[in-house]
Amino acid sequence: MAKYIDPKCRLCRREGEKLYLKGARCFTPKCPIEKRGGQIPGQHGKKRTRGRLSGFGIQLREKQKTKRLYGVLEGQFHNYYEIAIKSKANTAEVLMQLLESRLDNVCYRLGFTLSRSLARQLVTHGNILVDGKKVDVPSFQTRPGMVISLPEAAAKFDFVAPNLIEKNLPAKWLSRVGTQGKIDRMPTMDEIGSDIKVNLIIEFYSR
């Protein structure tokens, strides 16, 4: 199973904004965006300027930002686009629903963890149950009606337990009681709550 294993903070610095890839650290002064601003990573980062991007450049950066936000590599991200473009429904909405309904993202949206990477770790280590059965594939596509739960041992993990105590509210399209959550319906574009410009991603792939 392929995944990005290099420093995550470099991704935020490359996009010039916080992608909240490291959970609680992103809210502290230790965050590189707080310390270095939008400085591009690399030996010559200080010497590189952010000139005006071309139309293609703007589309590319939006696509890259979205991939990194959800922890998806290029091949899988393009597959999501192919599914969305073939759908009879709104392409932008279907694309975002495919990303939001990934099991790792659902665990994050339920408030089990403070970042998608930690949610992915929960899933890959076999600490998530879907309708009572262990699922260890982060890209597993969930559907309305499915119940996502944490085993008793997983609920005691250091990066999980505080979130349950604080009772972080899940996304509006989800519901949660204790360590058990449910997918009530698919999210709408308004409920996804991000500044992703999906139309730029669609234009990038359809050029």
Give yes or no: residues 142 and 162 share one domain: yes
Question: Rounded to an integer, what distance in angstroms lies between the CA atom of residue 150 and that of residue 155?
Answer: 6
- Beta strands per DSSP E along 40-105: none
Give yes or no: residues 30 and 79 share one domain: yes
> Quick one: tokens of 7?
């420093």
The 10 Å CB-count burial string (b at 16+, else e) for 105-139 is: bbbbbbbbbbbbbbbbbbbeeebbbbeeeebeebb
> Quick one: tokens of 29?
């002064």
Total domain count, the chain: 2
Q: At what angle do helices 198-205 and 55-70 cross, to 10 degrees?
A: 110
Q: What is the CATH number of the domain that holds 34?
A: 1.10.1050.10
Residue 45 lies in a domain: no
Q: What is the CATH number of the domain that holds 118?
A: 3.10.290.10
pLDDT at 50: 54
Question: Rounded to an integer, what distance in angstroms lies between the CA atom of residue 31 and that of residue 28?
Answer: 6
Q: What pLDDT digit, counting tens, does each position of 87-118 carry?
A: 999 999 999 999 999 999 999 999 999 989 99
Q: Return the amino acid letter for 54.
A: S
Instruction: Show the low-confidence residues of the chain (pLDDT under 50).
Output: 1, 27, 44, 47
pLDDT at 37: 57
Give yes or no: residues 125 and 112 share one domain: yes
- Beta strands per DSSP E along 92-141: 129-130, 133-134
Give yes or no: residues 152 and 78 share one domain: no
Question: Rounded to an integer, what distance in angstroms lies between the CA atom of residue 108 and that of residue 114?
Answer: 7
Residue 67 belongs to domain spanning: 9-40+52-98+194-205
Q: What pLDDT digit, counting tens, does each position of 62-82 carry?
A: 999 899 899 999 999 999 999
pTM equals 0.80
Give yes or no: residues 13 and 93 share one domain: yes
Please, what sign has the CA dihedral across residues 61, 63, 68, 73? negative
Give yes or no: residues 83 and 120 share one domain: no
